[in-house]
Amino acid sequence: MQNLNILSTIAFLVLFVRANAQWGYFGGSFQSNANFFVRDEKIGAANLPHYDNYKVGADAWLNLNYTNEKYELETGIRLDMFYNSILRVPTTPYNGVGIGNFFIKKKVKDLTITGGYIYDQIGTGIIFRSFEERALGIDNALLGARLQYDVQDKLKMKAFAGVQKLKFGVQKPVIVGFNAEGNFNVKEKVLIQPGVGLVNRSMDKDNMDKVVATIETYDTSGRFVPKFNTYAATVYNTLTVGDFTWYVEGAYKTHEAIKKDQIHDAKDSLIDVAGNCLYTTLNYSKKGFGMTLQFKRTQNFYLHTSPNNTEALFDGLMNFLPPVSRQNSLRLPALYFAQSLENRELAFGAEFIYSPNRKYTFILQGSYIRDFLLKRYNPSSTPFFGEAFFATHIKPIKSLELEFGFFYARYNKFIYRKEGHHDIDAYTPFMELNYKINKKHSLRFEFQYQHVVKDYGQWLFALLEYNIAPNWSFAVSDMWNFKPNPDLNPNANHYYSFFVGYTRGAHRFTLAYVKQVEGIVCTGGVCRLEPAFSGVKFGVNSTF
């Protein structure tokens, strides 16, 4: 029945497009990733179903879109395919084929009507964000309808209602929201962009019955009456004055059943509390100098469709709490990233960029995260995370770019991964070289060393990349745990990677042999723990 629905939906869209092709245009994209698992017990890539039994897994997305400018109409559909996929839960292969996304959008003067799967957010996403992050297996689209009304360029209002996507089905709790944003020039070089948002989540009876059953297992002192409806509200504003931009957002949500304090207590028990979050950034930018300051305070801002979601880490996630720590692209520093905590967090961040001329750029960045309860109120309180990052970019000649830097992190592994030490110190000097041989050929080299006694021990990482524009890219790297921590692993393991990429027009093909250490993987500020990987990866990316 599902396959029949898929075929009939695609057939309808194709016929619709052909009938209206003279007024519109048709396009799309295709993406596919295949994994070939090669068992390697030395690095921990073993004793999982895909290494022991399945050996091969693949994911694919076929996206088709049609836009008709004459009738101000847009429609699209996406077919998702998962075969022994490790995207949703890295330790449990998943199979499924179906319609992953479809939508129809029609504009009637100043009103835009959208139906189907909707991706959207309010403010920075603190009270609501529906988004897709394929690298982490996240697709929290809202299946429903949205109305957006624009008053010239000054005011935008939108209202939406629906249920959240779960695999190829939906979750039962209903989500309703409203958002209004303004855009006003107060005077020359002074701009304000205020916004307000409201969200209501109504829990269904099945989920409520599970919550009640859990509460009834507690003793009398721990019991409470859970609520079907949870409300969240946010107020935010962006103020731009000359070279300064200041963003501030404050959010509050009403009492509901949430998982208990993940910092010091068991996560499986429930409590009835309200939540709040304050987030602000201040940016200053002028020629040769830039500055960003950040602050965030979070208390019990657990906002899911239900506290019963347990299959996958991001199932039922309704919002996004922006992180303050640095999102590193370098391999070894990326091992220690502090994702946002929903229960208790006080975070500070700062970044300064200075470029006196075209040859030199200096970057200084740091962040500090802790429990907002001081030690005199909570003696067991310990810092969660601290980091310092410094880098110098040097361009002595037109064809050569150099970067030298140092990264330090104090990482509370128990807080972020529920294991290990509270005070892991990671010291990471690094360098990068980019050399443009001629108009087509270029070379890139990376080198990193990391000293982290209480965790992995000592690392060396080196990467060499060679590019031939516009078609070929080659890379080889090794991440060597040459002096490991004997408490974690007595073997000095190598994590090799060999990569080749080929691009022709709008099509790109990649092939890589990869050995990857177990650790935190982050994309767009969202993180999860992934097991070690050993095997071959093949990818296709195409647009048409």
pLDDT above 90: residue 310: no
Neighbours of 505 (CB within 10 A): 10
Last residue of a domain, one of 49, 75, 108: 108
Nearest to 516 by CA among 47, 40, 48, 54: 40
pLDDT above 80: residue 378: no
Residue 482 lies in a domain: yes
Tell me what pLDDT residue 187 has.
Answer: 87
State both tokens at 399: 């064809």
Q: What is the pLDDT of residues 316-353, one digit of tens each?
A: 999 999 999 998 889 999 999 999 999 889 999 999 99
Spatial separation of the C-alpha atoms in residues 385 and 409, rounded to whole Å:
7
Residue 46 lies in a domain: yes
Residue 394 confidence class, pLDDT cut points 50, 70, 90: very high
- β-strand partners of 457: 452, 484
Last residue of a domain, one of 92, 108, 124: 108
Average pLDDT of span 1-16: 54
pLDDT above 80: residue 538: yes
Last residue of a domain, one of 108, 141, 164: 108
The range of the structural domain enclosing residue 485 comes to: 382-544
Residue 219 lies in a domain: no
Please state, for a pLDDT cut of 90, what percent of the chain lies above it.
77
Nearest to 247 by CA among 239, 255, 256: 239
Q: Which residue has the tokens 């990649």?
A: 510
Q: What is the pLDDT of residues 148-192, one digit of tens each?
A: 999 988 999 999 999 999 999 999 999 999 999 999 998 888 999
Residue 128 lies in a domain: no
Q: What is the pLDDT of residues 41-83, one digit of tens each?
A: 999 999 999 999 999 999 999 999 999 988 899 999 999 999 9
Residue 394 lies in a domain: yes
Residue 368 lies in a domain: no
Backbone angles phi, psi at 435, to 5 degrees: -125, 120
Spatial separation of the C-alpha atoms in residues 287 and 269, rounded to whole Å:
53
Q: Output Rg (C-alpha) for the chain, integer angstroms.
A: 25
Give how many domains the chain has, as a whole number: 2
Nearest to 446 by CA among 429, 467, 458: 429
Kindly report the pTM of this predicted structure. Answer: 0.91
Residue 127 lies in a domain: no
Nearest to 69 by CA among 104, 25, 29: 25
Query: Which CATH number covers residue 440?
Result: 2.40.160
pLDDT above 90: residue 441: yes
Residue 249 lies in a domain: no
Backbone angles phi, psi at 143, to 5 degrees: -90, 110
